Structure 1
Amino acid sequence: MSDDGDVISFKALRRGTVVRSAEGVEIGTVRHADEIAREHLFDGIVIDTPDGKRFLDAPEVARIHERAVIATFSAAEAEEHLQPVGSKLAAIAGNTTTARRLKRFAGRTSDRAKSAWDRR
């Protein structure tokens, strides 16, 4: 395993940072960290996996480094611990004609609109 850098706060975590299981197997990359804003508490991390967006709950995060996030579970247990993100309605609406047009429009206009659409 390579040097993951110093331990950092979840607030300094960057999109695209590698997420690894306890034994070092890559299970995804960071999309964004979630916070309980009213209480300023770390809630978890939304990650991109081969199976789509998944939520890694805060108790399942062992350490957050500059270049990697380490989970508390093994790669074999990942499916049990990672929760799907989004609703069934969002999945259905994501493939409608209007949604496809909006994605094309957002791609032509600005990255801000596109990232807002992706966070839905």
Structure 2
Amino acid sequence: MPETDDHPIAYTALQPGTAVQTSDGQPFATVEAVLVDEKVSVFDGIVVRTADGARFVDADQVDSIWTSHVRTTLSAEQAAGLPEPEASTVIDVKPPRSMGDRLGRMFGRGRR
């Protein structure tokens, strides 16, 4: 039996370019980015690169993460229908420094 270095890993060790598979093991994408809510250190999902462009896979749709691949709970049909990542999905989730900063962003003023 050939030896393999493939083993489960934490989302924090997931690398861009890692293969992403459907629930039956069929590859359909590669990892582009890992999304984490840094405020509470929670895995939020992954942005993947498919033949049709960037798509979002929610954390609830990720079954397992290995050194060689990510296995999802998605069927091929579900994988083909994944949504594009929204701006709110990929923005910096660190909390603003102040309430004034937060209100400035809400009203389009940005930081000075």
TM-score (normalised: structure 2)? 0.70
Structure 1, unpaired ranges of 5+: 88-120
4+ runs of 1 displaced by more than 2 Å? none
Q: Name the SS for the 1:78 alignment partner.
A: helix
1:41 aligns to what?
Answer: 42
1:86 and 1:59 mapped to 2: Cα distance?
Answer: 17
Q: Which amino acid is the alignment partner of residue 47 of structure 2?
A: V
Q: CA RMSD in A?
A: 1.6
Give the drift of 1:85.
2.0
Q: Which has the higher helix share?
A: 1
Give the 3 Å change call, closer, same or farther, for CA 72–58 of structure 1 in structure 2: same
- Larger radius of gyration, structure 1 or 2? 2
> Which runs of structure 2 are paired with 1:1-120 in the superposition (5 Å)?
5-80=6-81, 82-86=82-86
Calculate the TM-score normalised by the size of structure 1. 0.65
Residue identity (%): 36
Q: 1:52 to 1:4 in 2, by over 3 A?
A: farther
Q: Structure 2: which 5+ residue stretches go unaligned?
A: 88-112
Aligned residue-pair number: 84
For residues 25 and 4 of structure 1, the distance between their equivalents in structure 2, rounded to whole angstroms, comes to: 20
How far 1:79 moved relative to its partner?
2.9
- For the residues of structure 1 that align with 2:29 and 2:9, how far apart are their CA atoms? 19
Post-superposition offset of 1:7? 0.7
